[in-house]
Chain A
Amino acid sequence: MSAQPRQAPHDMRTPLKRVRGLGSAKSGLGHWWWERVTALALVPLCLWFVWLVLRLPHLDFASAHLVVATPVNTLLLILFTTIGFWHGQLGLQAIIEDYVHTRWIELVLLVAIKFLAVIGALACALAALDIWLAVY
């Protein structure tokens, strides 16, 4: 906050070059970009997911199983959960980087949410495939 970035006497870099990458994340245009790309993909996927869930409550197990097992629903479910966990992980990363100021806790949390996101996405994909394969 208070300290100005110190400029070496022979620093040839422009001011813009020096401040780049000095936000709380240190680097990460890729993070920003993928957050947007996954957000865009999730707009139709979320609407579809709500539509799918609305059909489920009044169905018994066998009917719910059949509805979820159609190839299109299996594909969209895998897309929704994979991109959802990915986007969620990116969002949590931004929150952790902004609010957790102890470096080692920050690192532990950043790694933990990545592990959990991969486990969650894989578990969802496997479950969706299992439901699909049980019927078709």
Chain B
Amino acid sequence: MVLSILHRVTGAFLCLGLVLVAWGLIALAAGEAAWSTFAGFCGSWIGVILLACWTFSLFLHLCNGIRHLFWDAGAGFEKSGYFTSAWVVVIAGVALTVIVWLWAAMVGGAA
């Protein structure tokens, strides 16, 4: 139930994320000054918070999207399977987000 509305909320939020992707690509094409403005935004505290939200939104939407695709194929409609897969989605979404940010922190210069 909660995941259903979260799927929409994260989906809409990810559309804004695509705007950031567009900004990054255009900045990289435009040159060093534009890129450093973009990198500066991503490295600012508001940028990091937004990026963390986008990472979690992406993985939650991705995992829940795969769950939806299984439903469309006609699998996983039983009540027990419904709740199990919901928890799998939440745990996988959190785990992937943590892994990505730990990785970024280890490689260095993430923020």
Q: Are A81 and B21 in contact (CB under 8 A)?
A: yes
Interface of A is mostly: helix
Selected from A46, A95, A123, A124, the residue in CB contact (under 8 A) with B8 is A95
Q: How large is the interface on A (under 10, 10 to 19, 20 to 34, 35 or more residues)?
A: 20 to 34
Q: How large is the interface on B (under 10, 10 to 19, 20 to 34, 35 or more residues)?
A: 20 to 34
Selected from A57, A65, A92, the residue in CB contact (under 8 A) with B12 is A92
Q: Are B18 and A57 in contact (CB under 8 A)?
A: no
Residues of A within 8 A of B58 (CB): 46, 50
Selected from A50, A54, A61, A88, the residue in CB contact (under 8 A) with B11 is A88
Q: With A and B bound together, what is the CA distance between A64 and B109 in angstroms?
A: 13
B98 contacts A by Cβ under 8 Å:
no
**Which residues of chain A (43-92) have a CB below 8 Å from chain B?**
43, 46-47, 50, 54, 57-58, 61, 64-65, 68, 77, 81, 84-85, 88, 91-92
Segment at the interface with B among A6-14, A15-23, A100-108, A126-134 = A126-134
**Contacts A46-B58, A46-B62 given; does A130 touch B36 at CB 8 Å:** no
Selected from B8, B36, B104, the residue in CB contact (under 8 A) with A54 is B104
Kindly list 4 other residue pairs between chains A and B, CB separation below 8 angstroms, not including A91-B8, A131-B28: A57-B110, A64-B28, A81-B18, A120-B19
Nearest 4 pairs between A and B by C-beta?
A58-B109, A127-B25, A130-B29, A127-B29
